[in-house]
Amino acid sequence: MSRADLTWSQVCARRLARHGLTAPVPRDGMADQVGVICGAHAQVMAAAEMSVGLRVHEATRADVRDALWRERTLVKTYGPRGTVHLLPTAELPLWTAAFSTMPRIEPSRPPGVALTKVQTDEVVAAIADALAGAELTVDELNDAVVARTGDWAGELVMPAFTGLWPRWRQAITTAAYQGVLVFGPNRGQKITYTRPSMTGTVPGPDALRAVARSYLYAYGPATSQHFAQWLSVPRPWAATLFSSLDLEPVTVDGERLWQNAGDSADEAGEPTVRLLPYFDAYGVGSHPRTNVFPAVAGERALVGGQAGVMPILILNGVVAGVWHGKRSGRRLAVTVEPFVTPTAKQRRQLDEQVQRVGEISEAQATLTIGAVTVTPHK
């Protein structure tokens, strides 16, 4: 087999190793590992804590919270696809430079709802001013933005989960991408926003190339279309960016993909059984989907091709089941629905993985093998 040819098993072994899923990294490597996977999806914070905890030796959700709010080595902000992520604080200048430079696929809004470019700039400037040295709830930030811009910014015109949101909230992701907004610690049940303190700048084009190379390191080999889907950018633009990189083609079981020049598939490890939570980076970023989510896995763990909507059981890097955890006080009842019959060794590893999930959650976990009946996360 030539160096330009890889098997799918080699690809999975490399990805698992780089994700810290073969051998978790030491506690002091938590932020670096989050950087390697290009951020941990944090729309559901319990899932983000699980994603990070699985990749860090003996870490619990408390360790992730310490890194985020006490040590400040992680930061919670809007990341790839405009979704909430945990990112390494040290990498925030790079990510904001990339996000503020790349084209975005914006949702279509009627003229009476959408912010103009001028209005967006005005709102972002107001957010930056309001959050300087402050931690504000959404309601407090609303009052501050309206006071600095005008009543038009506070008009309730944006359809939302429970009614209508004020017009200015369209610009929250833009403010984060421009580096003037991140999440602060919750105030009771309310989220807060604050302005990050960043040192150093990265030129936008350099940042974009660095992000693309990081994606290929963690999720490659891949195509520019895979990258475009992961970042939610136009495919032609992603193809142009890939053409500016030093890449080399590889053939994976007959399919032509791309990796960083000089990369290798030397990583290996013991066969791996892992339980990954909602929106875990491995499932969301990995392609081709038909290889990662074969057969029934594609029907049960994807919705319209979207990954992350169900917690997944992976065997040697491939989705082979779904699972669900139901917490009651200090107890966590884990139900796993395998799509294949696990071997005796895999069953032992599954038992160990359930116990690890419990440790991260700071709960006593029990395992039931059976049907998972919860609906996909929306």
pLDDT digits (tens, 9 = 90+) for 52-104: 999 999 999 999 999 999 999 999 999 999 999 999 999 999 999 999 999 98
pLDDT at 201 over 50: yes
**pLDDT at site 272:** 87
Mean pLDDT of the residues in the chain: 95
For the whole model, what pTM was predicted?
A: 0.95
pLDDT at 265 over 80: no
305 compared with 141, residue with greater pLDDT: 141
Domain positions in the chain are 72-194, 273-369
Q: What percent of the chain has pLDDT over 70?
A: 98
Question: pLDDT tens digits, residue range 218-244?
Answer: 999 999 999 999 999 999 999 999 999
Question: pLDDT tens digits, residue range 157-198?
Answer: 988 877 899 999 999 999 999 999 999 999 999 999 999 998
pLDDT at 112 over 50: yes
* 170 CB neighbour count, 10 Å cutoff: 21
**pLDDT at site 1:** 38
**pLDDT at site 3:** 54
